[in-house]
Amino acid sequence: MDPIDDGIVCLQDPPATTRIGMSGLRRAVAGACPKIPEEFQMRIRRTAAFLLLALAFAAPAIADDGAVPEHPIVKHYPGATIDSAEMRDFDAADVVTGYEAGSATVTVEGLEGKVYRFVYSIDPQSSPLQVVRNYENALRDAGFRTIAVVRGDKVQVPNVGSGDVFGAFVLDRPGSPRVHVNVKGTTDTTYVWSELLIVEVESMEQDYVAGAGELYDSLAKTGRVTVNGVQFDNGKSTLQPTSERVLAEVRTLMEQHASMRLRIEGHTDSVGQPAANQALSEARAATVKAWLVAAGIGSGRMEVAGFGDTRPVAANDGDAGRALNRRVELVRID
């Protein structure tokens, strides 16, 4: 037995059945099994060509099982076939996040958040460079910034060969997690493939929530506390549903200490314009107060303030630091 790849297995003798996958179909059309007698090769090639033709007229870029949704911003490659697709709500991935023009190396960071991975097979008349440039143009229209578009023989990028073309892109969204995209275009002279990695950088949803007692202890010691787990929609002041159990502890805190007065402070990272960040931080603080008032806490016991990006607790030059800077704090004022 002489395996060509994981898609088609070539045998010394004519096989009764032959296992053929997507990549195997393409190699069958190209006559990739010289050890099979010509009669059987022709039969395989005719069958493979028919199946590939049928796929070509199918709706473009449909996942085999439909289980992985298209990313809401980064769309499927037009006319391509999805060979594999994966999406995880929270995972880690090594992502190229920086490149200095003319350098032979890139900056790679281990990022966490929602991770999408797609592998597409594309019209063989395309080239790896054409594929990556098409991504670059589409992503630019969606607001992404290009970090790098480079050939594999010019820069050292993990898992990128000398004949490949690689692109790295990033979308900065004020008050929201960044979106990173890495794409590789490659070919084996028969077909062109693209490998797409998308990471929406965000913190894992908290399973542990600080209770009212812990919040009070921090306020008693330092006069302020960060309320971890208060999450808003991207670039908005709309609370996400998971924030309610966190705010319920703040409500309990204020019910247990009826004389306590608090200032609710909103903070953002430095992505976007300072004026927009200031307004967003004020709006988010006001949203938290409104939730507590609706939950039965007197409005007069709370003040609100927003500080935009002016009081960071971590450097804004990385996603981890920016995530820490997007926060809501309580300050004791009684």
The CATH number, out of the four listed (3.30.2030, 3.40.1710, 2.40.50, 3.30.70), of the domain defined by the range 81-201: 3.30.2030
pLDDT at 27: 43
pLDDT at 149: 95
121-159 pLDDT per residue, tens = 998 889 999 999 999 999 999 999 999 999 999 888 888
10-residue mean pLDDT series, the chain (334 residues): 34 33 43 48 47 40 62 92 92 91 86 92 91 96 94 90 94 81 90 94 61 89 91 86 89 94 95 92 96 95 96 85 90 90
Q: How far is CA 295 from CA 12, 219, 288, 299, in A?
A: 76, 21, 11, 11
pLDDT at 181: 97
pLDDT at 32: 45
pLDDT at 22: 45
212-332 sits in which CATH class?
Answer: alpha beta
Domain boundaries, the chain: 2-56, 81-201, 212-332
**pTM: predicted TM-score of the whole model, two decimal places:** 0.53
pLDDT at 103: 84
